[in-house]
Structure 1
């Protein structure tokens, strides 16, 4: 029997399957999600969490590729799409995971690319990325010692982000280091989205019984279209806090976790794990270069040492901390769905989770404020 169509191409069967989320973000947004294609480079615990949500939300297509050909024992720490029998060199890394992802939602097309094609995909002179035509590209930075390889250092990520911008592909980077995790997003020069705003009541009359009755907030809502300009990674990383008054610095100060990621990127390239002293020295240099100090960051020397020790341990230990992956992966999945559906304000443009302090901060790195699009321009 042919499926009956509804609005925005969503069939009646899909409307029944995705009923709860259609009620949450609307049929138009669901229509955009059902035609979307997400490319994930590197399957790890963090991207596993996000993929689960994307597939259950009803994206059209998911393409997976990983620089690692096989599954290792440490992948089982947070990668719940693998089992013990999947570990070893006789089994392709992504094949068993893809089968379990498919079981979540048979309506989603799952495609696995061989590890050998990753070089082509990352090559700016190749047309492979353009041919895939993803709606969104997500890079999962591997954890532990593998995060320090030249393939995932700052220059490589900047080059890949520049390539995605040329092709108009929204771009995300995510990664975890023990208790910490981060997300960087670049949705292009003019990302537009819709938010709901309550209707503003007319000015209240004089204080009377009738006026008090009219003072009840309006339950009606209006849609407001907003534009947000994002910046590429190279510009975001140039952000400094030099010259800002101390009061403003305290309000806008970056998290120590963000500066720790920058330190790791500075020290990556040869795969060698830096010493604790190198890590601390690089991190303090970056803090100073950006017009900051530990006092401004509200971090004591004792807390700084504890942070560096934890970061250093995360580099030497393969595997991921599952709670970190769950929290950051949840934020990543929701933001990607919002970006595709054009609903709700996006993450602008760096999210940093710090497990030791229990905080999750969003840093607007070199991005201008959002602007409302007048109704006449919509």
Structure 2
């Protein structure tokens, strides 16, 4: 996708951007073709940003007729009814975007995304779905994954002041700066279907509650045959019932999803755009760490969170720690050693064993045994002389994961160390007490001698 060199006009227009991310990244941007569907407030802001960044072309899809309601959530629609009357949202937004950057080709495509074939998506490098149904997101994502070339896939969803972005870059290679050097990295992304199908129980509780709440709203709209955003306070009872069913099916507490959050999502009309344009720019240019799976923003508390698939995050962290473990054993230098701290490792050991056990449940026993690398034995305190039967049993039952964290031998060693420390502490206290008593007695003796000498007459 590198294409031809930048023209003099492009170099002059994008001079400041080239200084930030380089000529090669800008050249990739100018050759990138972006498809955008569903243009409301957040997506309108996204379109403006990528057009100003200088992508090759932007194709818009939104067959809704422009009206006052659409105007309130889209600054690309001019506030003149004579201008937008009788035009679709995509058509009126196309005219506005051309004024931002005449060098970017902006076009309009009509139709339903769920009715288009694989060949249609092959002409694009990035596909962005805004405010689409869960079925539409699954369908388009599957089509993009069937293509021979890699097509970056994004979904954008805003409800009330909450925003969600999903990212699927498939097998993605990029560069980033690490220790003053540019290093090449590679990530493997799950599909949208895989990401939303993760069982809730093994997901860490620190995960954004918006992840669960968005899934409830999607199921509600799909089961009731509603379009995106066709919810009101009258639907709250049904939404709460679906929440109860999903929590029960996933064996988690209903406190995972606060009722007040669901009420905000189905009744709120405002939008607070999350970051998205810069992520597409990173995906096209191949520079910088991309978002991993999900990004959430809540305008009410001002917090933003990035959520990655538990299984993918687990594998990535294990790989990084294994590199450091190997480097420490062999004495070789490793980039991992300089940035993975002891605190990171301790937090990983504390939070991940259950996820590891669950992820290995469905593997054959032979593969389970192979999973136990030196690092995994170190993390979970498995001794090297344990027999294979014991290891297989530990890996086969998720209910036993906690017993694999601390072995009996480790407990004995810990007790011995504690006993030795207590003995040393008591000895030191007694020794200090004895020294203090000796000093006080010596001081009293000197004081008595002084008094006697003073009382003897001359």
Q: Within 5 A, what are the aligned runs for 1:146-185? A: 152-167=132-147, 168-185=150-167
* Divergent runs of 4+, >6 A: none
Q: Within 5 A, what are the aligned runs for 1:168-247? A: 168-188=150-170, 190-198=171-179, 221-243=180-202
* Counterparts in 2 of 1:223 and 1:79: CA distance versus 1, 3 Å: same
Deviations 1:221-258 (A, max 9, x none): 211000000011111011124357xxxx34xx321212
Deviations 1:238-292 (A, max 9, x none): 1124357xxxx34xx3212121110111111312636212222323443454454
Distance 2:4 2:307 in 1: 35
Name the one with the larger helix percent: 2
The yes-or-no answer on 1:336 pairing with 2:328 is no
- Structure 1 residue 177, shift from structure 2 partner: 0.5
Structure index of larger Rg: 2
Deviations 1:143-178 (A, max 9, x none): xxxxxxxxx432332122101111232111101101
* SS of residue paired to 2:181: strand
2:77 corresponds to: 82
* SS of residue paired to 2:59: strand
Q: Within 5 A, what are the aligned runs for 1:1-378? A: 9-68=5-64, 70-86=65-81, 90-114=86-110, 118-119=111-112, 121-123=113-115, 125=117, 127-130=119-122, 133-141=123-131, 152-167=132-147, 168-188=150-170, 190-198=171-179, 221-243=180-202, 249-250=204-205, 253-269=206-222, 270-271=225-226, 273=231, 275-293=235-253, 304-314=258-268, 317=269, 320-321=270-271, 324-325=272-273, 328=274, 331-366=275-310, 368-369=312-313, 370=316
- Structure 1 residue 126, shift from structure 2 partner: 6.0
* SS of residue paired to 1:275: helix
Distance 1:122 1:16 in 2: 41
* Counterparts in 2 of 1:291 and 1:9: CA distance versus 1, 3 Å: farther
Unaligned runs of 5+ in 1: 1-6, 142-151, 199-220
Unaligned runs of 5+ in 2: 324-458
Equivalent residues of 2:63, 2:88 under 8 A apart: no
- Aligned length in residues: 305
Equivalent residues of 2:297, 2:305 under 8 A apart: yes
- Structure 1 residue 355, shift from structure 2 partner: 2.2
Equivalent residues of 1:8, 1:27 under 8 A apart: no
* Structure 1 vs Structure 2 CA RMSD: 2.5
Equivalent residues of 1:181, 1:354 under 8 A apart: yes
Equivalent residues of 2:168, 2:192 under 8 A apart: yes
2:439 corresponds to: none
* Counterparts in 2 of 1:367 and 1:136: CA distance versus 1, 3 Å: farther
TM-score, scaled to structure 2: 0.62
Equivalent residues of 1:180, 1:352 under 8 A apart: yes
Higher relative contact order (CA 8 A, sep 6+): 1
TM-score, scaled to structure 1: 0.74
